Amino acid sequence: MLLNMLKGKIHRATITEAKLDYVGSITIDTELLEKAGILEYEKVQIVDVNNGSRFETYTIAGERGSGMICLNGAAAREVQVGDKIIIMAYASMTPEEVKDNPPKVLFVDDDNKILRITRYEKHGLLTEDMINE
């Protein structure tokens, strides 16, 4: 049996741009993608903390170190520049794989610079140790 489990999350990132005239996607600073374990072109779920919108799109790698979080295409209508969002990626895993693969959670500041990286433990509690990857 495969379970659809959270594998990576960028928590409370700030929308830096919204471009209606582009194919639907989300452009994310490459460093943020890598540190959260999210791949380019991977499907992600977006939750806008400010307005409650929830939708799915795919990722595009943006300029490394830029802090870019840009919603593109129709998804740009769901957000405003400055909104806080949560970006989540999921993976299909066996129950055995779930035990060995807790999700990475990337916390960022208002400029989308990395504050810390943690992993979930049992019952949704965060570990105290940072991941240095």
Which pTM does this prediction carry? 0.89
| Residues forming a β-bridge with 127 | none
**pLDDT tens-place values along the chain, 133 residues long:** 999 999 999 999 999 999 998 888 999 999 999 999 999 999 999 999 999 999 999 999 999 999 999 999 988 998 999 999 999 999 999 999 998 888 999 999 999 999 999 887 555 555 555 555 4
Judge whether 58 counts as a catalytic residue. yes
Judge whether 25 counts as a catalytic residue. yes
Considering 22, 41, 53, 58, which one is annotated as catalytic? 58
DSSP string, 60-86: EEE-TTS--EEEEGGGGGG--TT-EEE
The backbone torsions φ and ψ at residue 127, rounded to the nearest 5 degrees and listed phi first, read: -70, 160
